Structure 1
Amino acid sequence: MKRLYLNITLILVNLYLLLVAVSPLNAAILIKDSKTDLQPFLVYYIDDIGSRDIEEIHRLDTTDWQVPENQQVNFGFDERFYWFKIELSSYQNKQYILQIAYSLLDNIDLYVMNKNGILQSYHTGDLYLFNQRPLNHRNFLFPLDMKKNEVQSVFIRIKTSGALQLPIFIWDKNEFLLHENKMSLFQGVFVGIMLVMCLYNLFLFFSLKDKSYLIYVGFVLVTALFQTSLQGLTYQYLWPNSSWWNGQSIAVFAVASLAFAIYFTISFLKLEKGSTRLFPLFRLLGILAVAITISNFFIPFHWGINLARSLGVIVPPLIFSIGVKCWLKGNLSARYFTIAWFLLIVGTLIMVFTKSGILVSNWLTENAMAIGSVFEVILLSLALAQNFTEERKKRLVAQENLLTSERDLRMANEKTLFIQLEANEKLELKVHERTIELETTMKQLSEANTMLRNLSARDGLTGVYNRRAFDERFELEWKRAVRSKSKLALIMVDIDHFKTLNDRYGHQAGDECLKKVAEVIDHSFNRPGDFVARYGGEEFIIILPEVHKEGCTFCANRLLKNIESLAVKYNDEILNITASLGVSVESPDYNDSPHFFIEKADRALYHAKKQGRNRVAFDSDDVENISNK
């Protein structure tokens, strides 16, 4: 009996160790496929008040992280700060694309780290301007450079007022382009159908003077805007420079579509004449929907979206029930109306349950409302056509003596409709072709601008930033330090006896020394805010924001030692290099001059050279502030 108990215990321990070994908390994901869903491998940490930074999060123990349930990141409407972590590795040197396939996250901070520290950091979200995104796309894309067998940790910090979902994938670039082509086709079909329905029924409104068509056109247009806003398309193409409106528009369009739906129901089903008890209720709901739509321009997004959700729970089922009632009374056009609203309700419920974390997030659940909307607008258009047919039959029965004229009018209408449909198809084709041309041109312009910006900001010889880039960055850091009342440090570096080296060994040797020194300086300062630039000739300059004098002294002496230990091999000769460093640390004020700050660093550099070179000197005249090697 004891032996059996011992065997069972050993089996359970082995199973536990196996589960721990394959847990997301303990293994890096090896990227092998062209597309990998990373949700099953994510772990998360809740920072209730958002007080922790990336360094603190990086030091968290493995037991502090949690694994999402059902391998899906969907926490519903939660405004707390969430940190997510995943470790990745690749079997080859390759650039991947990290995609967060949800465009309604307010704030995203993404950090890529390896054993040496932070490699990349990005700050984006739908509260940022669209051109601030790392890549120009409706979703959030991040380039990820992977080296063979290197483990990189990705940390993501999210704060949002909407639904907190994180459908995250890592793609091969070519595979992602193929995927985007398919998605663009789906979105193009959706937008095309909506536009065709709008133009078609707008034409019918001008022809028939029936306000139901005009209300229907408004409903289709607002529904299309709502759906494309959910997908991030309107922010990309219509208002990329208005993050405020992008945040408010979803709540505005959501309630506006309900308002149009209410008034369309009143007009189409003729509730004012046929249902005296329900008409006051629908009129009150219509006024309420219009009032909420207007208020959504001014109130916070989370209030507006909650009002939209509340109204969305009431209005569609009510419209569906009145449609069933009219259908049972023999209204044939009401059957299309009822089926249309049933499909939209199903799609909407699937989307709401997905956003609330009840259903699993995938392509079908995320686009269920869009698919339901397409079927709805088509069926409502058929309902309008059916309603029109019934009215026409009644007129034919009442006016038998005008039968010939009625037939001629119908043939003319059919011919006109055929012409309109043909014109719509041509227009849709032209719009599609023009959209492709514009997308291609914008992509080329974006790539060219990025290349020009990088070329103009870098020094051609050393690869570090040039003087112009320094001037721009220094002005920005100066203003930030003045505003935040924080410390700002400048370190000016000058290679000792550089002219003598140039005269003795030639300019090629001097250039090689400049490259090596620039490389040492660039590797010595790797905080996210540190900035290294070539100031001119053999001089370099470093900006260190938010650093105290002690930390700056440590960094300067470390750099001095790194340069002194540098041995440059040129034509079988070893060139030993030293440098003099001038340091200035200030807490800038509005009345201070940034140029005087640079002069103080330059004066400190002069002191260092005057005291014998190969040393660090501060901007004070006190000799004790000169630090020997």
Structure 2
Amino acid sequence: MRVLYILSFLTWALFQTNISSSAQTKGILDPLSVSVIKLSDKTHYEITEKVDYFLDPQGILKIQDVSAQGFQSRFQKPTNPYLVDSGEEGVLWIRVTVENQRNRSHEAWFFESWGFDIGKITFFMPEAEGGFSADEAGYKLPFPKREIQHKNFNQILNIRPGETQTFFVKIERSYFMGFSFHLRSHQTFIGHTTNEYFLLGIYYGVLLIVLFFTLYLLANQKQAIYAYFAFFLLTCIWYSLARDGLGFQYIWPNFPELNVLTKRLFTQLLLVFSTLLFANHFVQKLKYSRLVNQATWGAIVLIIMLTLNQEYGYKIEDLLMLLTFSLILLVPILLMIRVLITSRQMSWPHAFAMLCMLIALLQSYASEANVTLFENPVINWYFANPVIFAEVVLFSISIFNQLGQLRKKSMLADKELNQVLLEKNKLQSKLNSKLKKKVKKRTEEINALAEELSKKNEQLLLANSQLQKLNQEVVDENISLSLTNKELKEGLEKTIQSMVLMKGFDFNEFKQIFPDKDACCKFLSELKWADGYHCRKCGYNKASISTSYGRRCRNCNYNESATSNTLFHKIKFPIEKAFYMLYLSNRKDVHLTLNELSEVIELRRETCWAFKHKIELAKAKIDFDGEFNGWEILALVELDEQKEG
């Protein structure tokens, strides 16, 4: 029995040893081909080139495929932050094997990476019962979906002291890019995060303060330089928000589609555009230079074309591209400095600001060409921020210096203006003294004249009163004369018309007396209603004169024309010609044949005959005896065939 117990105990111990060994190496499928990261005496490890990677060009592999035992030999060891040397596109699988040699059981470890336009990154954590759990993040997914609400991509590693675990990371990128992977303990992670957010808060706080102050100056001064500077500040803020991820975390966390506007292609071009525009306008404001303006716009156009070519066309080698960008940017910057120096308006803040501007722009493109200035990836990543910060501060100082110079000029101008005003006031005082004396003397003269004028005015008032009486008498006399003239005029017209009866006028002379229809109708109406008006419908004796001297009854509105119920009723030719024919019919000393009459009055022979026949009918109707003024009687004859008008 004792032997049996001893054998059972040994079997149980061996089984526990196998279980412990299995737990410690969980996730490691082929220990000989794996790069192991050992956590020992440090609390922060930069592991970018200590991981293993595999490139899936088609992006069709799953975690079950890449974690299989037979697949592990296909992982490779990186030699640079890009992991892939060839620049191939595709899905990257990262294998991270960690051995925890620390004995602190309450210590947590974080895997950290960043990249401002990694579309999607998936962390695969091994489970105790086998398999992997997945946590997703990236700029194509809503920010709240991240397990740790941090601007970087972070993942807690479930690894205890003495354990060795293998984790997998799947990265879906939009272009060939460098990476920075870190392992941090929770103490280091919290300190690092706190410091990072604190410094970024100061950075954005200063930029926003300067921006608000610039907008205030723009609203107050309404000068274009503040609009350009505000645009420059906005692009700096947008560029920084894109690179560090704070924009996605705090401004549009639920709209990952907006991350398209923060891609390096857009933000870099916007930064170049706004910086060169502001610097150019700053120089042009101090001293206009057509050459600087052309060089600035030429540089902007060239950089846009080269960037688009680098992104969508024939890709130039990175270092050559960086050198090309440097030369393009140097041309307008050096020309700006030359103009400021020659115009003696160069200041040290502005010089250093333009240097920072060049460094910030070049660093932005250098990061894409894998050119690093420092060994620390964090410093390399955030190097543009302090440079932009310094650039903004120095440009602000330059603007303040310019404002100070303008203020000094304004104060000097005010001083000169005050001096001119003082001299003007003295001169004005002298002139006023002389004017007072002249005014006093002139006032006395005017008072004397006023008294004299007052007396003359009384005399004029008296004369005016007499003139008014005379004027009234003249007005009364004029009225009387006006009435007499009217009667004389009417009598003259009647006399002239009567003379027509006494003398044989030809047609042209006759037309001077009766030139048109109105003259004939007026004469005819006076004949018709010489004894007063009586309405043919109702007998009313009051009427108003209507068109062509007709009469409209004021009682029944019956309208009677001047020609109705007369010999001229409804004639089809000009009434003045009919008047002349009637006139000739009563003249015994004038004899015209029908042809002659037709030619004189320019009517057809038949028309002349018809109206002469009508005259004969009228004569027969009233037994006309050939009186001298008989044509007036004939004119008012109403033939039976006529109808009332």
Query: When the two structures are superposed, what TM-score results if normalisation uses the length of structure 2?
Result: 0.51
Q: Quick one: which amino acid aligns to residue 84 of structure 1?
A: I
- State the 1:124 CA deviation: 2.1
The whole-number CA distance in structure 2 between the counterparts of 1:23 and 1:340 is 54
Cα shift readout 1:237-291 (whole Å, capped 9, x = no counterpart): 00111111113234444333333223323321117962223424434666899x9
Q: In the alignment, which residue of structure 2 is the partner of 1:97?
A: 110
- 1:341 equivalenced with 2:387 (yes/no): no
351 and 69 in structure 1: CA distance in 2 versus 1, 3 angstrom threshold: farther
Q: In the alignment, which residue of structure 2 is the partner of 1:29?
A: 38
- 1:131 equivalenced with 2:141 (yes/no): no
Match of 1:67 among 77, 95, 116: 77
The whole-number CA distance in structure 2 between the counterparts of 1:179 and 1:156 is 23
Q: In the alignment, which residue of structure 1 is the partner of 2:440?
A: none
Query: In 2, are the aligned partners of 1:396 and 1:403 still within 8 Å (CA)?
Result: no
The whole-number CA distance in structure 2 between the counterparts of 1:65 and 1:182 is 36
- State the 1:351 CA deviation: 4.1
The whole-number CA distance in structure 2 between the counterparts of 1:137 and 1:216 is 31
The whole-number CA distance in structure 2 between the counterparts of 1:111 and 1:353 is 33
Q: Quick one: which amino acid aligns to residue 49 of structure 1?
A: Q
68 and 123 in structure 1: CA distance in 2 versus 1, 3 angstrom threshold: same
User: Structure 2, unaligned stretches of length 5 or more?
Assistant: 1-29, 421-645
Cα shift readout 1:433-461 (whole Å, capped 9, x = no counterpart): xxxxxxxxxxxxxxxxxxxxxxxxxxxxx
The whole-number CA distance in structure 2 between the counterparts of 1:283 and 1:351 is 20
158 and 174 in structure 1: CA distance in 2 versus 1, 3 angstrom threshold: same
Cα shift readout 1:110-135 (whole Å, capped 9, x = no counterpart): 21237963232122211111112121
The whole-number CA distance in structure 1 between the counterparts of 2:59 and 2:252 is 30
Q: In the alignment, which residue of structure 2 is the partner of 1:53?
A: 62
Match of 1:402 among 417, 420, 427: 417
- 1:262 equivalenced with 2:272 (yes/no): no
Cα shift readout 1:582-606 (whole Å, capped 9, x = no counterpart): xxxxxxxxxxxxxxxxxxxxxxxxx
Cα shift readout 1:549-604 (whole Å, capped 9, x = no counterpart): xxxxxxxxxxxxxxxxxxxxxxxxxxxxxxxxxxxxxxxxxxxxxxxxxxxxxxxx
Match of 2:237 among 208, 216, 224: 224
Q: How does 1:471-490 map to 2 (within 5 A)?
A: none
State the SS of the aligned residue for 1:186.
helix
Query: How many residue pairs were aligned?
Result: 377
Q: In the alignment, which residue of structure 1 is the partner of 2:395?
A: 380
- State the 1:30 CA deviation: 3.6
216 and 49 in structure 1: CA distance in 2 versus 1, 3 angstrom threshold: same
115 and 188 in structure 1: CA distance in 2 versus 1, 3 angstrom threshold: closer
Q: How does 1:543-622 map to 2 (within 5 A)?
A: none
58 and 393 in structure 1: CA distance in 2 versus 1, 3 angstrom threshold: same
Query: In 1, are the aligned partners of 2:112 and 2:153 still within 8 Å (CA)?
Result: yes
198 and 363 in structure 1: CA distance in 2 versus 1, 3 angstrom threshold: same
Query: In 1, are the aligned partners of 2:35 and 2:97 still within 8 Å (CA)?
Result: no
- 1:210 equivalenced with 2:213 (yes/no): no
Further displaced range: 204-213 or 369-378: 204-213
- 1:83 equivalenced with 2:93 (yes/no): yes
The whole-number CA distance in structure 1 between the counterparts of 2:379 and 2:410 is 45
- State the 1:31 CA deviation: 5.4
Q: In the alignment, which residue of structure 2 is the partner of 1:277?
A: 291
State the SS of the aligned residue for 2:147.
coil
The whole-number CA distance in structure 1 between the counterparts of 2:268 and 2:218 is 24
Q: Quick one: which amino acid aligns to residue 68 of structure 1?
A: P
The whole-number CA distance in structure 2 between the counterparts of 1:227 and 1:173 is 26
The whole-number CA distance in structure 1 between the counterparts of 2:299 and 2:236 is 18
State the SS of the aligned residue for 1:29.
strand
Q: How does 1:228-377 map to 2 (within 5 A)?
A: 228-250=241-263, 251-270=265-284, 274-283=288-297, 316-333=329-346, 335-359=348-372, 362-377=377-392
Further displaced range: 82-91 or 68-77: 68-77
- State the 1:69 CA deviation: 1.9
Q: In the alignment, which residue of structure 2 is the partner of 1:178?
A: 191
State the SS of the aligned residue for 1:169.
strand
Q: In the alignment, which residue of structure 2 is the partner of 1:389?
A: 404
The whole-number CA distance in structure 2 between the counterparts of 1:339 and 1:74 is 38
Query: When the two structures are superposed, what TM-score results if normalisation uses the length of structure 1?
Result: 0.53
- State the 1:215 CA deviation: 1.2
State the SS of the aligned residue for 1:177.
helix
Q: In the alignment, which residue of structure 1 is the partner of 2:52?
A: 43
Query: In 1, are the aligned partners of 2:280 and 2:336 still within 8 Å (CA)?
Result: no
- State the 1:22 CA deviation: 11
Q: Quick one: which amino acid aligns to residue 389 of structure 2?
A: V
User: Structure 1, unaligned stretches of length 5 or more?
Assistant: 1-20, 406-629
- State the 1:146 CA deviation: 1.5
The whole-number CA distance in structure 1 between the counterparts of 2:41 and 2:54 is 27
Query: In 2, are the aligned partners of 1:76 and 1:163 still within 8 Å (CA)?
Result: no
The whole-number CA distance in structure 2 between the counterparts of 1:352 and 1:371 is 16
- State the 1:224 CA deviation: 1.2
323 and 315 in structure 1: CA distance in 2 versus 1, 3 angstrom threshold: same
State the SS of the aligned residue for 1:164.
coil
The whole-number CA distance in structure 2 between the counterparts of 1:75 and 1:399 is 68
262 and 74 in structure 1: CA distance in 2 versus 1, 3 angstrom threshold: farther
- State the 1:349 CA deviation: 2.7
Q: In the alignment, which residue of structure 1 is the partner of 2:180?
A: 167
- 1:108 equivalenced with 2:118 (yes/no): no
268 and 255 in structure 1: CA distance in 2 versus 1, 3 angstrom threshold: same
Q: In the alignment, which residue of structure 2 is the partner of 1:415?
A: none
The whole-number CA distance in structure 2 between the counterparts of 1:23 and 1:318 is 55
- State the 1:236 CA deviation: 0.3
Cα shift readout 1:194-233 (whole Å, capped 9, x = no counterpart): 0121122223333333210221012112211211221000
Query: In 2, are the aligned partners of 1:323 and 1:335 still within 8 Å (CA)?
Result: no
Q: Quick one: which amino acid aligns to residue 239 of structure 1?
A: W
The whole-number CA distance in structure 1 between the counterparts of 2:234 and 2:83 is 32
Query: In 2, are the aligned partners of 1:78 and 1:160 still within 8 Å (CA)?
Result: no
Q: In the alignment, which residue of structure 1 is the partner of 2:167?
A: 154
Query: In 2, are the aligned partners of 1:218 and 1:260 still within 8 Å (CA)?
Result: yes
- State the 1:96 CA deviation: 2.4
Q: In the alignment, which residue of structure 1 is the partner of 2:200?
A: 187
- 1:121 equivalenced with 2:134 (yes/no): yes
Q: Quick one: which amino acid aligns to residue 275 of structure 1?
A: S
- State the 1:100 CA deviation: 1.2
Query: In 1, are the aligned partners of 2:33 and 2:73 still within 8 Å (CA)?
Result: no
State the SS of the aligned residue for 1:269.
helix
The whole-number CA distance in structure 2 between the counterparts of 1:301 and 1:123 is 31
State the SS of the aligned residue for 1:146.
coil
The whole-number CA distance in structure 1 between the counterparts of 2:33 and 2:73 is 12
28 and 373 in structure 1: CA distance in 2 versus 1, 3 angstrom threshold: closer
Q: In the alignment, which residue of structure 2 is the partner of 1:595?
A: none
The whole-number CA distance in structure 1 between the counterparts of 2:180 and 2:50 is 12
